Chain A
Amino acid sequence: MSVTAQPASRGPLFAGHSKLSDRIGEPLLRVLTGLAALAGVGVLVWIAYTVFNQASPAISRFGFGFLGTSAWDPVHLRFGAVDFIFGTLESSVLALLISAPMSVAIAVFLTELAPRVARRPTQILVELLAAIPSVILGLWGIIVLGPFLNNTLEPALNGAFGWIPLFSGSASPYGMLSAAIILTIMTVPIVSSITREIFDTTPSEFKEGAYALGATRWEMVRMVVIPYAGPGIVGAVILGLGRALGEAIAVTQVIGNTAGIHASLFPPSGTLAAQIASEYQGATSNLQVASLVYLAAILLVITVIANAAARLIVSRVTAGREQWAP
């Protein structure tokens, strides 16, 4: 990058270029690209400013107590975020608890186990899962998954593990479990593709060394690949978490959209993003609108922290290694 412009040593080859066009073109491109970069950063700041500004009536009314209050009553104007914060964290963490091990397994399969010819097609298929629009996953969740949970899976879980509070109570086609499963499907491709990329960067000398010492394939993966990729996997999981925390549409379609904290996974619940999607347009008072935007502000802070952490970890791990994949 630090190649400074050489003193003009124009050969005849470039004699045709007028100095005028250089004098305009060079700064023009510099300014245009600089402005674009400024716009890219600026819009982030602008979003944050606008959201906090519009939430300010609720912020000044409820203060930080909003974060710990369990209430959503538009008639008596009592609002609080704790139910939705809890729902957001619960659905996303559950989703990642399933999708993280699954993703690591997929990455192992793709880098170590699959026959060479199968690797690329499988990888593409898994990554295409990330391209399915969330509204379609939600549609599938409403029409296919919901009835299955209500009629089959939840009664079965309740029958077998009903003594665990998580699986207590009666089944419901809309609820936390449904949301968690949809979010699992959404996060698997994200986490697995990053994990696979990091696995791919494991130096082959390390792997060969392990094999030379007589390790089986699993021992090699467990003692070389996973420790080497560890921080990167954490980063990938947090990145998936960021996606799950912010998903509004698919979650609002399947979660049932209610306030309340339940021990069981079956009853309908709510998340920050889903609550905004379901109530923002129909809010009955200015305070309710501001409270919904307050939820948006909380969501923004949570996802920015998650993404920043993930990016810092991933970039530290992959620093210096070429990585470009869509």
Chain B
Amino acid sequence: MSDLSLERAAPRGMIALRGDFDSLAGPCREITGADLPAPLGAAGEGRALLWMSPDELLLLCDPGDVGEVLARLGEALAAQHHLASDVSDARVVFTLRGPGVRDALARITPCDMRPGRFHVGQVRRTRLGQVAAAIRLTGDAAAEVYCFRSVGDYVERLLATALESANRERVAL
């Protein structure tokens, strides 16, 4: 029997950054201290970079730093074709903790949650119930779920239902 918990995370700064990865690498390293993540990966502590697609990253920072980070990006990338958008208010993040995290999520996503297929540190954009969401495995027993703000209540209830069931019975993961 696992003991899973669910929390709506405190607001965080999120910047959707599109561009050629070669030109994004330098400014991103300066701002986050991290190299660009591999596909489906994440990089950085504190300020972090999540891989969204071959031309998109999600840069995470303190909500208060968004303006400064956007300004620095704009300056560093002034000569490069890119698009940096503040999406901090567009999404909500949930944190899930407990050893049954994979098992709970397997109830609501077609994404392969097996340890050998979805590694700790990776990010998967997928479907959660009936909406789009991203899952970031932050540890063996911890995950973050990102979804659009408007469906936050739906996702929260969906996660709570899955967690409650996984708390009752670990099925396969």
Q: A and B: partners?
A: no
